[in-house]
């Protein structure tokens, strides 16, 4: 195992707050608009279950995204994500303010993003992750690159990675094996 993987696991083990971008992370990045101008999004049920398990494992969840969409509000409610910040220009500032309000150190925060606009927040966290389709510069500046695609299991993979690093994954999965 490489030192990078070990460092990522050590950082993931300390997480108390994990935040996610939406377009290109929780979705495949495609923007769909109806003829009425409404934006729609498709979310993975596997990713949703991973997020629920991460929350059940004791990690606070947040969405911090540059766009605003009613679909994101509804998805966050469905999963139980209490911290939803949309239309954000400075994701780093929002994450650090949220962490401060929750009494969580930046080293105990994580973020999963996919584009260069996410670099400031990714670099401010203790744990950073991205998707395989991310911009090459982003991949060079994160600790973990998921093998599954955006909107199709990448978030689930990262959630399970964090839970495994914290020693909680097996206990959360045990109920399905009983």
Contacts of residues 40-44 at CB distance under 8 Å and 24 or more positions apart, as own/partner, are 40/71, 41/69, 41/71, 41/72, 41/75, 42/151, 43/71, 43/75, 43/151, 44/151, 44/152, 44/153, 44/155, 44/156
The pTM is what?
Answer: 0.94
Contacts of 26 (CB under 8 A, 6+ apart): 20, 41, 43, 44, 47, 63, 75, 150, 151, 155
Instruction: List pLDDT tens digits, range 58-82.
Output: 999 999 999 999 999 999 999 999 9
CATH number at residue 140: 3.40.50.1000
38 labelled ligand-binding: no
Asked, for residue 175, whether it belongs to a domain, the answer is no
Average pLDDT over residues 91-109: 98
Asked, for residue 176, whether it belongs to a domain, the answer is no
Q: Could you tell me if 47 and 154 are in contact, meaning their C-beta atoms sit under 8 angstroms apart?
A: yes
Residue 178 has pLDDT above 50, yes or no: yes
23 labelled ligand-binding: yes
Asked, for residue 106, whether it belongs to a domain, the answer is yes
Asked, for residue 177, whether it belongs to a domain, the answer is no
Residue 1 has pLDDT above 50, yes or no: no
Asked, for residue 178, whether it belongs to a domain, the answer is no
* Rama region for 32: left / alpha / beta (φ>0; ψ in -120 to 50; rest): beta
SS3 30: coil
Asked, for residue 174, whether it belongs to a domain, the answer is no
**Both tokens assigned to 134:** 């991310």
Please tell me the total count of domains within the chain: 1
21 labelled ligand-binding: yes
Instruction: List pLDDT tens digits, range 12-46.
Output: 999 999 999 999 999 999 989 889 988 889 999 99
Asked, for residue 46, whether it belongs to a domain, the answer is yes
Domain that holds residue 83: 3-169
Asked, for residue 157, whether it belongs to a domain, the answer is yes
């Amino acid at each position: 195992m490489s030192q990078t993987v070990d460092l990522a696991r050590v950082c993931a083990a300390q997480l108390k707050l994990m935040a996610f971008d939406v377009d290109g992370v929780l979705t495949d990045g495609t923007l769909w608009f109806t003829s009425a101008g409404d934006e729609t999004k498709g979310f993975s049920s596997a990713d949703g279950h991973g997020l629920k398990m991460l929350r059940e494992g004791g990690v606070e969840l947040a969405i911090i995204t540059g766009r605003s969409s009613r679909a994101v509000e509804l998805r966050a409610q469905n999963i139980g994500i209490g911290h939803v910040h949309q239309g954000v220009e400075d994701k780093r500032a929002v994450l650090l303010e949220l962490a401060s309000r929750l009494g969580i150190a930046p080293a105990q925060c994580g973020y999963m993003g996919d584009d260069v606009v996410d670099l400031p927040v990714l670099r401010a966290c203790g744990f950073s992750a991205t998707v395989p389709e991310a911009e090459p510069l982003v991949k060079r500046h994160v600790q973990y690159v998921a093998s599954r695609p955006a909107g199709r299991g990448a978030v689930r993979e990262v959630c399970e990675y964090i839970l495994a690093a914290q020693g909680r994954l097996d206990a959360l999965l045990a109920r399905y094996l009983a």
